[in-house]
Amino acid sequence: MSGSDGKCGMGITRPAHWWLKEVLAGRIDMEDAPLSVQSWARLPIFQGACDIIKLDTPEQRKAELAKIPPRVRPWVEREVVKWWGRRGELG
């Protein structure tokens, strides 16, 4: 039986969960991850970009971007730029 924690029987972590965790933590470059994990990582990257777009000031946005691991930051920045003009549609 498997749970949403990325573990399958006997406490063994599923490889895809491990890859996703490593990519989002910035320990592995996105390009080095399997394509399926790259695709999977796009949702939390998009969600992070949306959270940044919703902040009130440029200083707040810059401060939040600075907290993102350097290997992941360019991906989030691209999403922010992509969605900036449509920020009213993001809820």
What ranges do the domains of the chain cover? Answer: 15-25+33-90
10: pLDDT confidence band, cut at 50, 70 and 90? Answer: low
Is residue 2 pLDDT above 50, yes or no? no
Phi and psi torsions of 7, nearest 5°: -100, 140
Cβ(67)–Cβ(43) below 8 Å: no
pLDDT for the residue numbered 66 = 97
pLDDT for the residue numbered 16 = 84
Residue 13 DSSP label: E
Mean pLDDT for the chain? Answer: 86
Q: Report which of 2, 10, 9, 6 is spatially closest to residue 19, judged by C-alpha positions.
A: 6
CB contact burial 64-88 (16+ within 10 A = b; e otherwise): ebeebeebbeebbeebbeebeeeee
pTM of the full predicted structure? 0.78
64: pLDDT confidence band, cut at 50, 70 and 90? Answer: very high
What is the average per-residue pLDDT within 56-61? Answer: 94
